[in-house]
Amino acid sequence: MVRVTLREIRAHLVRFALSVLAVLLGVAFVTGTFSLRAMLADTFGSIVESSSQGDVYVRGAESAQDGEEPSAGPFGPARGSVPVALAEEVADVDGVTAALPDFFGSVVLVGADGQAVVNGQAPSFGGAVVEDDPAAELVAGRVPTAGDEVALETTALETSGLAIGDTTTVVIGADDVREVTVVGEVNYGNPMVGTTLVLVDPATAEEAFAPDGAVPSIAVYTDDDATAADIDALVERVRESVGSPDVEVLTGEEVRDEANEAVQQVIGFLGTFLLVFAFISLFVGAFIIANTFAMSVRQRQREFALLRAVGASPLQVMASVIAQAAVVGLVGSAAGVGAGIGLVAVLRTILERMGMALSGQVAVTGRELAIAMAVGTVVSMLAAAVPARRAATTPPVEAMRDDVVVTERSLRTRAVVGAVLLAGGALAVYRATSGATEAPGTWLGVGTGAVLVGALAVAPVIGRTVLGVLAAPAVAALRPMGRLARGNVTRNPRRTANTAGALMIGMALVSACAVLAASATASTSSIVATEARADLTVQSATFTVPPQAAAALTDLELAGRADATVSGRADVGTSDEDAESMRILGLPASAFGETIDIRVVDGSLDGLADGEVAVQRTTADEEGWEVGTDLVIATDQGEVAARVGAVVESQLLNAPVIMDRALFDAVVPAAGATVLSVFVDAADGVPQADLREAVETALEPYVVLTAQDAEELTSSLADQVDQAMVILYALLGLSVIIAVLGIVNTLALAVIERTREIGLMRAVGLGRLQLAVTITIESVLTAVFGTLLGVLIGVALASALPSVYADQGLSELAVPWSMLAAIVVLSGVVGVLAALWPAVRATRLPVLQAVATD
């Protein structure tokens, strides 16, 4: 049977290659995900090594002290801080060669083009560097020694277009705008993934990043030849020297392991996200494999009957088909592994050109290789299981007749199962949208899966009717090709439905994403239209508006109002025992109804000026608060009592607690407050154009600030949504490509299966062009059928999203009908393209040879 299996593969290499290609694409995605994840882990591990090169670290305890704003470096959880002055004490410990405070904060660099250096989504921050810094290599120039000097990390120097000796502008911290000279280039030995790192002298760093005299940690260095035992002994000596329960002393290895674990959690989520799309691609590819083997079994029934007649058992026949599928899976998986690694290598090159270099090797581990190979092979074998069983159970006498008649099984059972799944899925989606469950997302996911599987089940049942309607224009306009095509696609509804089903899955997801993007944009527009009433909104590319800029806007003569929104954290609860750290927002109470307007669910905002607070409805529900609840807010000076005056719903002011600016300043220290935005209204009689000119002039020194009216703000937020959705569309595009290959595969196999029929039609006068048109119509009908089903299902399921995720800001449902119509039209074009090769193959069949085919 092994010889029979291999001979069948050699005899039908085209069919074999198309099936292999389907597996290849899916496995390439799986392998690429594994490889990309490994590269990201290596890259961020290198960054951890670069930013945490100390032999020992002195840092605050994980739980910050009451009233103290937790601080954190670029990696790891928020912790309490330690005094900068502690570094001098630690430096005197025996065995310590250097003790350097880890200054870390926001810095915006202006590049050679006069614009702020923004490298994609990579962060921009600053730190301190000293002469003979153990962690840094001085590549060129010198380290900064004064407040008007900076050194740039190699990536930042390249991205900015600056050179040593150039003068530029930096915004250090929240509000320190200064002219500086680039005096040096520093490298930390590893790629920074596009991060813009600006280095200043320790005095400037302490003034900007540690105004309260505290830092997240102190890096301690010892001799280069110190052993692990030496470092452990140093930890004990430093711990004894510090002698505070609020300070931790750990080895550098422990700190790096902790940071790497935090990085792995984030990368693990990304890997899972990508693997979901990889398995979607494999699922779609399974349709192609199942179709391929189903048609192969139909064509080889007489061969199987002969095998049975000469002694082969049903199990051997079934094993022969499964073995072919295993070969398809193994070859496709092996090729997919190579393609996946190549795909990541190309992606790496693209990212490097964008200034985001990744370290590590483009490869997969033996375990990941085994998983990818196993997944591709198992999916292929499972997809071929049903056709294999059919081959084994066909009676030999029936299969050996001159005219083989394939008896199609009834679709009644399939219709019942599909109807039950559709009904169950619809009920699950309804439960998710009804608010009757605490896990609406889970119910929505279960309902979506049931609906998709149910639609696949009922597709053959409705196929004849729907395809008949879709084919009507072609039947009327293109005779006899339209009628022939209609007969071909409706003759075997299972095969047509399976082919269209692959496209249906991809198009359902694409349509759902299109509705999600349109709804997110509409929700954003609605939020801006209903809540933002200011003429201009000032925001920062770094999400922090310098307080000096906010003050400058307040002093503008042309501005009637300039209301700054500030953010911070405080412990809030009904008592000191149940208080928990929450994000709070502060802005003048008089701003409500003037520059901003939010929905009040219960109570009134009138009491904010008298010390009351407003709480978000979701927070009130979670905490059991209501209008009249007395809250306690912890501060350095003690506790401040505040009554809940209103329960509100707002996406623009998206924080659990909102209060007047005066109360905010009383409960949040200045060092812990961040200005998020400023709402600016023109004074009476001042045209908005004049206000904009005045505001932009005031903001000119602050290179990262922009002033936007309501339309511009909506467009900016919509662009962010579109950028996120482009990634989803690209990922889903792979499943659509695989589905198109399925149409090509099915048509090509159909041409082989109908060789004699095609020869007879050609013999009685059907021209080559007419034959090509017939096959093209079949392809278009299949593609449009799958697309229409997918679009309808995707829109129906996505319509439930606003009800489920209204609290996250998705409050409006918008269906992009024009885009969906374009998708349907595009599916017709796809059908034409998919038919090209099968049509050419059919027209080239010699008529006499085709008629004589058995």
Q: How far apart are CA 557 and CA 547, in angstroms?
A: 18
Query: Which pLDDT score is estimated for 195?
Result: 75
Spatial CA neighbour of 336 closest among 273, 276, 387, 379? 379
Cβ atoms within 10 Å, residue 767: 12
Query: Which pLDDT score is estimated for 693?
Result: 92
Query: Which pLDDT score is estimated for 397?
Result: 65
Residues 819, 820, 826, 830: is their CA dihedral positive or negative?
Answer: positive
Q: How far is CA 514 from the centre of its chain?
A: 15
Amino acid at the residue 504: M
* Block residue for tokens 């032999």: 55
Query: Which pLDDT score is estimated for 119?
Result: 64
Q: Max CA-CA distance within the chain?
A: 102
| pTM check: above 0.85 | no
Spatial CA neighbour of 454 closest among 429, 432, 437? 429
Q: How far apart are CA 304 and CA 317, in angstroms?
A: 7
- C-beta of residue 618 within 8 angstroms of C-beta of residue 601: no
- C-beta of residue 495 within 8 angstroms of C-beta of residue 743: no
Residues forming beta bridges with residue 559, ordered by sequence position: 682
Spatial CA neighbour of 567 closest among 626, 508, 655? 655
- C-beta of residue 129 within 8 angstroms of C-beta of residue 187: no
- Cα angle 342, 345, 348 (rounded to 5 degrees) comes to 155
Amino acid at the residue 501: G
The residue extents of the domains of the chain are: 46-263, 462-530+711-854, 536-708
Query: Which pLDDT score is estimated for 64?
Result: 42
- C-beta of residue 604 within 8 angstroms of C-beta of residue 647: no
Give the tokens for residue 320.
């022969």
Q: What is the mean pLDDT of each run of 10 residues along the chain (854 residues)?
A: 63 70 78 76 72 84 46 49 87 89 85 77 78 85 92 87 91 78 87 78 88 86 87 90 84 84 72 71 73 71 74 82 86 86 78 63 76 86 82 68 54 88 92 81 88 90 90 90 89 82 83 86 80 88 80 89 91 84 92 90 92 92 91 81 92 89 88 86 91 90 83 79 70 71 73 77 86 90 91 91 78 87 89 86 81 66
Spatial CA neighbour of 522 closest among 786, 773, 801? 801
Strands 217-221 and 630-635 come out as: unpaired
- From residue 395, how far is each of 388, 404, 432, 581, 787 by CA, in Å? 14, 12, 49, 73, 38
- C-beta of residue 57 within 8 angstroms of C-beta of residue 250: yes
Spatial CA neighbour of 740 closest among 605, 836, 846, 597? 836
Query: Which pLDDT score is estimated for 73?
Result: 43
Query: Which pLDDT score is estimated for 853?
Result: 65
Task: Report residue 344: phi and psi, to 5°.
Answer: -70, -35
In the chain, count of helices (H) and strands (E)? 26, 23
CB-side neighbour CA atoms (13 Å) of 507: 29
- C-beta of residue 755 within 8 angstroms of C-beta of residue 850: yes
Q: Indicate the helix (H) or strand (E) that contains 516.
A: helix 493-531
Q: How far apart are CA 285 and CA 499, in angstroms?
A: 10
